[in-house]
Amino acid sequence: MSELRDLYQEVILDHNKRPRNFRRPEHPTHEARGDNPLCGDKVTVYLTIEDGVVKDVAFEGRGCAISTASASLMTEIVKGRRIEEARELFRRFHEMVTGTEPEGIDDEDLDKLQVLSGVREYPMRVKCATLSWHTLAAALEGVAAPVSTEKPGD
Ligand code: ZN
């Protein structure tokens, strides 16, 4: 089971078992729902944005270990970032897990996401790992309709 060895590292198992920021805030300013029908992952991301800064980020949902751990890691990394920084992190993370990142990652926080880079060998799992980030991006845009990993333009 090389997939298990590559993907289910200790950090991922820990975040799946005890997801960080797994709650529904009382008054989020932005929220979006995401759906990965291929795996059955569902996530709702809640943001509290003030003066262009993500003051709070939380999520709810259910899914596989990869999607839950990725969402948990995402909340830790995005909290306190400016909106444009959060978008840039998504772009870099997407490149990492799809294998198009040309250079090593020099961002200390993105470095934490390296535990998820093993998914690049498993296209199904890339969607699990990126679902919460796509949903974050939708929340940042204020998109009301649920996002799906099966819509074109992923
Ligand atoms: Zn999944």
Residue 146 or 85, more confident: 85
Which CATH code of 3.90.1010.10, 2.70.50.30, 3.30.420.40, 1.10.443.10 fits the domain covering 2-147? Answer: 3.90.1010.10
Would you say 57 and 78 are in contact if contact means Cβ atoms under 8 Å apart? yes
CA of 52 from ligand 1 middle (Å) equals: 31
What is the pLDDT confidence band of residue 123, given thresholds at 50, 70 and 90?
confident
The pLDDT assigned to 56 comes to 97
pLDDT digits (tens, 9 = 90+) for 30-39: 999 999 999 9
Residue 72 or 108, more confident: 72
pLDDT digits (tens, 9 = 90+) for 3-24: 556 677 889 999 999 999 999 9
What is the token pair recorded at 105?
């990652």
The pLDDT assigned to 2 comes to 54
CA of 42 from ligand 1 middle (Å) equals: 9
What is the pLDDT confidence band of residue 112, given thresholds at 50, 70 and 90?
confident
Provide Rg for the chain, Cα atoms.
Answer: 14
Question: Strand 53-62 relative to strand 30-36: parallel, antiparallel, unpaired?
Answer: unpaired
What value does the mean pLDDT take over residues 96-107?
Answer: 70
Element (H, E) at 16: helix 10-17
CA distance linking residue 114 with residue 96, whole number of Å: 8
CA of 39 from ligand 1 middle (Å) equals: 5
Query: Can you give the residue ranges of every domain in the chain?
Result: 2-147
CA of 149 from ligand 1 middle (Å) equals: 11
CA of 66 from ligand 1 middle (Å) equals: 6
CA distance linking residue 34 with residue 146, whole number of Å: 6
pLDDT digits (tens, 9 = 90+) for 43-60: 999 999 999 999 999 999
Single out the residue of 26, 16, 53 nearest to residue 132, CA to CA.
Answer: 16
* Angle between helical axes of 10-17 and 65-78 (0-180°, round to 10): 90
What is the pLDDT confidence band of residue 105, given thresholds at 50, 70 and 90?
low
